[in-house]
Structure 1
Amino acid sequence: MVKDTDKNTFSELRLQAQTLLAGKPELPDTLQGDVQKLIHELDTYQIELELQNEELRSTQEELEKSRHRYADLYDFAPIAYLTVSDKGLILEANLTAGDMLGVARAQLLNRPFSEFIVTEDQDLFYLHRKKLLETRMQQSYQIRIQKKDGSFFLGLVEAVIRGGSSDPPGQFLLMVNDISAHKEIELARLRRLKNRYQAIVMDQNEMICRFDPQGRITFVNDAYCRYFSVSHTDLVGRKFMPNFHEDDVHLVGDLLKSLTPQKPDKTIELRAHLGDGTMVWQQWCGRAIYDNEENVLRYQAVGRDITKIKQAEEKLQNETKLRQLFLDALPCIAMLLQFDTREIVASNKAAVAVGAVPGMRCYTSWIQRDHPCTWCLAPEIRSTKEPLNNQFWALGIYWDAYWVPVTENFYLHYLFDITEKERNREALNKINEELEQRVMERTLELQQSHAQLLHSEKLAAIGKLAASIAHEFNNPLQSVMTIVQGIEEYSPLEDKEKHLLTLALQECSRMKNLIADLRDFFQPTSGATVHVDLHALLDGLLLISKKDYSSRNIKIIKKYGNDVLPVMAVADQLKQVFINLLNNAADACENGGTITLTTQKIGEHIAVHIEDNGKGIVVADIDHIFEPFFTTKPELKGTGLGLSVSYGIIKQHGGRIDVKSEPGKGSTFSVLLPIESANNDQ
């Protein structure tokens, strides 16, 4: 980088030289070209040297000026500068050093600096010089320096090692500042502070005294003398111990023995007898004052009469005990609290039952939470100033709680444990609910039994009618079949005529079977569980309602499963269930529609799904459709018992009824029956 700078400077000088030559007369043409070029180069070089010399002279002048300025700063600096050799001899010094020591600068050179140090402070100088040479770290210290006239001043010395490569080893620089005036100002300030402190201590109401390790008093304030009715002259320089109670004297010795540099103070309370025989309570704070070697220089004691405080504490303790006895006598948990829920006092019952601790917030000690309880009414009574009551569960106990304002800052909180009473009430309510439930169940059973009885009577009447019709129809039908069969025997018939007779016989057989099915279907059963073929049962119901479905434009689709097994059930009761479900599906298809019957085996159950594409059931009604007397049909068309009775029948068979519905799209009722019914076990 330096070479590049020099090169640039040389180029600039060469350019300046060429510019100067350009103004001179041209060389004669008779000279040869090489000679002319050489002369031109020499002239250019000469000019370059002249320019460099001019620049060097300018730089030298600036250096001389800077050196003079530095010398002035060095010589006339407000502090003394001295360069000291490794042997302690002064090698260099500024004018200030000579003025400060009262010696001409020339007379300082090669003299030991220690000659100007007060004898008592020379060891300190040598100690710091040793540290400086060993650690090469700056040293700062204060020593007394003696002038030529015998007077001395306090100097602040800063010592640093000379670190230049050309400096001899062990050479160092001293900077000395006369701080005598500052020190005198500081001492004056300290004297003022001492006087002020002395006045403050003297005017204190507390008793203050100081004494040496031998127990001799070195200082007492006026309050101390007034309290013990003695004078300063009677105490200072002598040993004095107040007339402490014989049982408390040892506390003073224990206090002094316990003080350490790490814990130099301690406070005790003890009894003392005054000159008139009065016993008083005193509080003393003892402090030990140590030197740099941790030796005790003196002790200081600050005392005060706390008799009235002790009497007030005793009175407060008696009142607290009386208040505690009152709270403990109450037949409940009682606490006195601040409105910030901090406990002031609590009964023993409160401490045992809810862990009440004076000084803590009630929700912290009781519920172990970091925020007020939700049932707390303290904020309300603070604003209304009226008592309030609340009941709640907490910690497994049901509480009857009261909040009573006492003052603007305090309130009384008491609680009764009414858990047993509440549990008795809950048990009574539960018994009442169970009784009501049983009454409802018995009422429902009676209603279902009544409905089943009516249905059975209807079936019985229809069965009798069906049997009578079957009897009345069977005889003529048998005669017709006999006649038709005889026609073929008594006269020869053509093929067409034979076909017609065959068709007639088939229709007669179908009518005979239909009459038999009608008679069997409506024939009352014994009420016992039997194997029921669900497909046959459903087909019989569809046969009866076929004309009704046709007139209402309702299409029936059957999707019977091949693996459907018979179930153990009461046939009449299942007929009643499926009649209700089919009728409801048909009623839902107000303007015609489709009813799909699906059967399937699901695990150990047989499922019968009756699906319609009618108007569906609104969501709000689905949870109520199995309730007795609930119906969405017109008053004269439904009683509200059909689904309730059906639900009860299926439940008695160990099954269930599920329903899915979407308004406007239809409903699906699914009846699930165990293959081995619960009634079979009975």
Structure 2
Amino acid sequence: MTNERDKNLRRRAEDKAAAVAAQDIEVPSLAEAKRLVHELRVHQIELEMQNAELRQTRAALETSRTRYFELYDLAPVGYLTLGEPGLILEANLRAAALLGVPRDALVNQPLHRFVLPEDQDVYYLHRKQLFETGAPQACELRLMRQDGRPFWARLEGTMGQDAESGAPVCRVTMSDITEHKTTEERLRQSEKMEAIGQLAGGVAHDFNNQLAGVLGYADMLVDRLEDENLSRYARNIKMAGTRAADLTRQLLAFARKGKYAIVPVNVHRILGEVAELLRRSIDKQIQVRQHLDADPPMVSGDPSQIQNALLNLGLNARDAMPDGGELVFATRILDFADALPGDDQPTGRCLEISVRDSGVGMGPETKRRLFEPFFTTKGPGRGTGMGLASVYGTVRNHGGAIRVRSELGEGTTMLIYLPLLDQPVPDTPETPAVSAAPCHGRVLVVDDEKLVLDLAVDMLTRLGCEVIACADAVEALETYRRSWREIDLVLLDMVMPKMSGKALFEALRAIHPQVKALLASGYSLNGEAQSILDAGVLAFVQKPFTLTDLSGKVTAALGKNG
């Protein structure tokens, strides 16, 4: 382009020179000719210098244009220029890409056309304050792409003037913050569930203490009442107490208050049991299938809690397929690098358990509240709303994460991720059932709940033990200090005023390093309870307990050498 322009200029100059040569020109003297030649040379040099400067200026202009293109059009954020009515006067390529519209088609379009109806007020206030105050403004709202897909955007606006007309314009940067919003929502949901969990855990703990008396005394009455009607009443009380205890266990599971046991768990074995149970109990129109590819299928945790969680997911899938369908359990091994900030995704090698149904699916609001305790979409009397809440708690309590993929009419897939236990599948022998058996020894019982204390005393007395009862840890410590040689076993509560169960056990061990102790709690085995067991407590007794539960733990503890 530059060479062609120079050739045209040369040609025009030659034409003018030829026209001048045709005129009568006075022949100059030699001196005058030399002066003219010198002047011509000077003009030639000046022209060459001007041409060089023009080329440099042109090159600088091209560089500036390229830089402007890279900085403006190829910027990682969208740039928009808006007129006072809100019309788009100019947009860069990124803004056009974010909105899914060709750049030329954006010009003279109102930006509010792309704002979701629910966020129109946010955008209106943002633009109003910007033009009225002239101060920089920012807002976060949802925009809709041309193809109908929404995304979260952050708009930051500053005032300026149009270079040609001098009219006020708004310079807007547009950033896609969808991923940030998703992470933020996950963190907020996690914090909310944590707060609900703390409340649920506290309620369940206190309720368990009361249930201990109801269930325990009903259990003792069942075999002692000779009147059949009274015995039936006691059995019904025990049955109701057992159901209530199951509900508190689900609350504790949701509250992530621990596992009842921590052992290597073969998930494939549990899935096989769950699948077989479902095949026998649900509608035959629902086909239950398994695709178990994980090797090894091992995690560390409580097999009964994991089984209950998977069974709850299976039953929930059943309810989503009233007209039949397909329920598929699948496993595989995945390796995750780093979790996102605010994410609960475990890192490293994980076992993925998927439970997929071909049911009715669910909408955004249901997905958002899915794991909240007592939330249910079923009719009255068809569920407590605790099933998925306990699944959530169990998974989180095992160091895992749970994800939901579902759309209305498209079915649902529940994905559980648990840290993998890299060890071969062991042969696990069946544990024989334990029945209530007489035992002998002197047992020191300490519990600040009078009902639970009285129950433990009555149960141990019935089993044949001599019992010393203490209503608080300080009294128990003084009693043990005076009579530790005559005390064979201590049954201590974990949560007490004045002194915790852990502090009491450490004080007892300072008196007698070989002290035998059992830990009882309305919470389950986790955190502080596990640390007390690790410190030397022989076993954990879950409240509410039955006569058989207590008999097995006490007999085993008394039989151990101190």
Between structure 1 and structure 2, the one with the greater Rg is 1
Higher relative contact order (CA 8 A, sep 6+): 2
Give the TM interval when normalised to the shorter protein.
Answer: 0.3 to 0.5
Q: TM-score, normalised by structure 1?
A: 0.27
User: What TM-score comes out, normalization by structure 2 length?
Assistant: 0.33
